[in-house]
Structure 1
Amino acid sequence: MAKKLMKGSEAIAEAAIQAGCRYFFGYPITPQNEVPEYMSRRMPQVDGCFLQAESEVAAINMVYGAAGAGARVMTSSSSPGISLKQEGISYIACAELPCVVVNIVRTGPGLGGIQPSQGDYFQATKGGGHGDYHLVVLAPSSIQEAADMVMEAFDIADMYRNPVMILGDGMIGQMMEPVEFHQPPKREIPEKTWAATGWDGTRERAIINSLYIEPEVMQVVSDRLQKRYELIKQNETRVEEYKMEDAEYCIAAYGTTARVAKSAVNKAREMGIKAGIIRPKTVWPFPSEAFCKAADQVKGFLTVEMSAGQMVEDVRLAVNGKKPVEFYGVMGGFLPTPNAILEKLIQLKEGK
């Protein structure tokens, strides 16, 4: 298939359709408006359902309903809208339903601004809503990777009966790059015998529920979810390493920030500083093992984020005090520059 120049939000929408998504419920918010706009045109062409809900709260509950019937369903929003969806996401996680949620992150807190940010890391990786649950969270750094991750997200969601989030900063949603659509590696996905698709008396009734009054029953559900999360950690943790073979200093970054960090690493190498990058492709499950291993090799870490410092906490937990972990962050919608990252890297090397 020939590559096509597409905006990130549109590539995400097309990837979902090609992955078999036939239901989309959402509500407009910048910088991801092109996702519902594209879906409104394309869904009727594939006999799908596009519906602009009256609110983000309504949209996520529509997702709950479609997922409960076994459909491939997606919603998308940006930071304040995702906050409104959190109760529904928690319900969906407890009901053990597969769906895909796209968050094209903008600056905050509050309504904030419409520029790119990574300030939703805690919300995405630590649950976001109430209760003990996790989303699988994929963090693309390019439009091609966003499309690939969306395609696979539906399979991961179906495989584990768990919501999957695509966490992309505003740059992912708005920039344009060449992209082509590939079907992900085939998985043996269990049949959806649990789906509530009507009852004819020939099988056990399917009941979709997230309310368990008896503590003994809730404990069983909670244990089942936690065991599933451990399985996801074993099977779905993804990470990319760049020039880490002989690295003495490691930059930790994800999303488009990692692309900027690569330029800083290349400049550092030209100056004789042996730097490398560890880029989490899944921010949950977090690739702790890669950082733990690197801590036996490098002299220090620099975590770079478009936030006040969130992923840095997971890096520090993974490194476990073996080596210093410094932080450099930008906020307000700005992107870090290669020169600024390089300056922080030099300061780390010089122990400043």
Structure 2
Amino acid sequence: MAKILMKGNEAIGEGAVRAGCRYFFGYPITPQSELPHYLAKRMPEVGGVYLQSESETAAANMVFGAAGAGARVMTSSSGPGISLMQEGISYLAGAELPCVIVNMMRGGPGLGNIAPAQSDYFQAVNGGGHGDYRVICLAPASVQEIIDLMADAFDLADKYRNPVMLLADGVLGQMMEPVDLGEEKLVQPPEKEWAATGRKKGGPKRLINSLYIVPEECEKHNIRLSQKYAAITKEEQRWEEYQVHDAKMIIVAFGTCARICKAVVDRARQEGLAVGLIRPITVWPFPAGVIARLRETAEQFLTVEMNMGQMVEDVRLAVAGKKPVHFYGRVGGMLPVARDVLAEVKKLYNGGAV
């Protein structure tokens, strides 16, 4: 099939539709507004529902209702809007309701700006709201990967009965790239015996709940959730390796930063520097396993992010103090420039000498 040119935000919408999503509730905010705009037209074409909520808080609770009824449902926002959704996301995780949440990250904190950033990493990988919970978090690095990961996002949500977040930055939302959509097929979401669609004769009650008043019952629920998160951590770590087979320095970057760093690796190799790249595709669960393996051969690590240093903490945990872990970042909507990252690589590679 011939490739077509698509903007990242529109690709998210099309990927969701092709994954069987038929319900979208959300509210416009830059830099993801093209996504709800696209779905406002696309959802009715496939018999789905698009509804612009009065707020992001309302959108999250609408998702709760549709997910509780067994539908494939999603919402999207950026920065401040995702913060407003956090109570609802905690309820979704507590009630074990599958859904997909898109966060097209922008500069912060506060209102910040509408330029791309990666400063919502802490919020995404550590739950973000109240209570002990986790959200599976996928980080694409291209428009094609957005299309591919949307299907995975809904499948993972249903597999583990857990919210899944697609975490991208404003560059990926706004850029246009050729994509292969493949053949459009009718996706039939799996039947969900737990969904609140009415009690079958002689069957158990179907109750969607995250309220456990008795402390012993709440503890039991939390322990069971933690066991699920442990299984996800074991089974679902995803990453891309690039030129790591003999690398003495490993760069770790995700999303747009990883694209920039791949060019840095190529330039470093041209200058005889053994540099490689690990690109986390799941930022939760973080691919700590591959970092632990490479720490035995690499001499040092460098994380490159569009924030003041967030994923670097997960890299340090995985390296476990066995090798140095450095950080290079740009913030406020500024992107790292390949030549500047390469200069940092050379300085560290030569023991700190400029």
Corresponding letter in the other structure for 1:132: D
Contact 1:56 1:81 in 2 (8 A): yes
Matched residue, 2:143:
143
Matched residue, 1:206:
206
> Matched residue of 1:335: which SS?
coil
Measure, in 1, the Cα distance between the counterparts of 2:183 and 2:153: 11
Measure, in 1, the Cα distance between the counterparts of 2:136 and 2:318: 19
Matched, 1:285 2:285: yes
Matched residue, 1:12:
12
Deviation of the 1:200 alpha carbon: 4.8
> Matched residue of 2:290: which SS?
helix
Matched residue, 1:249:
249
Matched residue, 2:331:
331
Matched, 1:231 2:227: no
CA deviations on 1:54-97 (whole Å, 9 max, x unpaired) are 00000000000000000000000011100000000000000000
Measure, in 1, the Cα distance between the counterparts of 2:331 and 2:123: 17
> Matched residue of 1:272: which SS?
coil
Matched residue, 1:217:
217
Measure, in 1, the Cα distance between the counterparts of 2:323 and 2:237: 23
> Matched residue of 1:297: which SS?
coil
Contact 1:237 1:286 in 2 (8 A): yes
Measure, in 2, the Cα distance between the counterparts of 1:215 and 1:351: 54
Report matched runs for 1:38-57 at 5 Å: 38-57=38-57
Task: Tell me: CA distance 1:21–1:190, structure 2 relative to 1, closer, same or farther (3 Å).
Answer: closer
Deviation of the 1:191 alpha carbon: 3.7
Percent identity for Structure 1 against Structure 2: 59
Contact 1:244 1:250 in 2 (8 A): yes
Matched, 1:79 2:85: no
Matched, 1:58 2:28: no
Deviation of the 1:182 alpha carbon: 4.9
CA deviations on 1:194-219 (whole Å, 9 max, x unpaired) are 00012353422210011100011111
Matched, 1:321 2:333: no
Measure, in 2, the Cα distance between the counterparts of 1:104 and 1:147: 15
Measure, in 2, the Cα distance between the counterparts of 1:53 and 1:2: 36
Measure, in 2, the Cα distance between the counterparts of 1:332 and 1:288: 28
Matched residue, 1:98:
98
Deviation of the 1:190 alpha carbon: 6.5
Gapped runs of 5+ residues in structure 1?
none
> Matched residue of 2:296: which SS?
coil
Measure, in 2, the Cα distance between the counterparts of 1:172 and 1:201: 49
Task: Tell me: CA distance 1:206–1:183, structure 2 relative to 1, closer, same or farther (3 Å).
Answer: farther
Deviation of the 1:224 alpha carbon: 1.2
Corresponding letter in the other structure for 2:330: V
Mean alpha-carbon deviation: is it higher for 214-223 or for 20-29? 214-223
Measure, in 2, the Cα distance between the counterparts of 1:64 and 1:182: 31
TM-score scaled by length of structure 2: 0.96
RMSD: 1.6
Measure, in 2, the Cα distance between the counterparts of 1:256 and 1:109: 20
Corresponding letter in the other structure for 1:114: I
> Matched residue of 1:30: which SS?
coil
Gapped runs of 5+ residues in structure 2?
none
Matched residue, 1:197:
197
Measure, in 2, the Cα distance between the counterparts of 1:180 and 1:162: 28
Matched residue, 2:115:
115
> Matched residue of 2:76: which SS?
strand
Matched residue, 1:266:
266
Corresponding letter in the other structure for 1:330: R
Structure 1 segments of 4 or more deviating over 6 A? none
CA deviations on 1:117-174 (whole Å, 9 max, x unpaired) are 0000000001100111000000000000011111110000000000000000001100
Contact 1:100 1:157 in 2 (8 A): yes
Measure, in 2, the Cα distance between the counterparts of 1:315 and 1:275: 17
TM-score scaled by length of structure 1: 0.97
> Matched residue of 1:31: which SS?
coil
Contact 1:19 1:183 in 2 (8 A): no
Matched residue, 2:30:
30
Contact 1:248 1:298 in 2 (8 A): yes
Corresponding letter in the other structure for 1:45: E
Matched positions, count? 350
Contact 1:6 1:176 in 2 (8 A): yes
CA deviations on 1:23-54 (whole Å, 9 max, x unpaired) are 00000000000110001001111110000000
Mean alpha-carbon deviation: is it higher for 231-240 or for 99-108? 231-240
Measure, in 2, the Cα distance between the counterparts of 1:155 and 1:269: 38
Measure, in 1, the Cα distance between the counterparts of 2:168 and 2:333: 14
Matched residue, 1:155:
155
Corresponding letter in the other structure for 2:195: A
Matched residue, 1:178:
178
Measure, in 1, the Cα distance between the counterparts of 2:125 and 2:112: 21
Matched residue, 2:124:
124
> Matched residue of 2:168: which SS?
strand
Task: Tell me: CA distance 1:183–1:292, structure 2 relative to 1, closer, same or farther (3 Å).
Answer: farther
Report matched runs for 1:305-320 at 5 Å: 305-320=305-320
Contact 1:148 1:182 in 2 (8 A): no
